[in-house]
Amino acid sequence: MSQTSRPKRIWLARHGETDENVAGRILGRRDPPLGATGVAQAEALAARLQDAGIAAIWSSPLERARRTAEVVGTALGIEPVILDSLIESDRGDWEGRIVADLARDSPALHAAFLAADPSFRFPGGESLAEQRQRTRSALATVAAGPMPALVVAHAGTIRAALADSEAPVPPESALAHGAAVELPLQATSG
The string of DSSP codes covering 113-128 is HHTT-TT-B-TTS-BH
Q: Can you tell me the distance from the alpha carbon of 64 to that of 31, in angstroms, rounded to the nearest whole number?
A: 7
Cα dist from 73 to 42, 56, 67, 87, 172, whole Å: 10, 9, 10, 19, 25
Cis check: omega of the bond before 148, within 30 degrees of 0: yes
* HEC secondary structure over 136-157: HHHHHHHHCCCCCEEEEECHHH
Catalytic residue among 17, 88, 95, 126: 88
Active site residue 88: yes
Q: Please identify every residue annotated as catalytic.
A: 15, 88
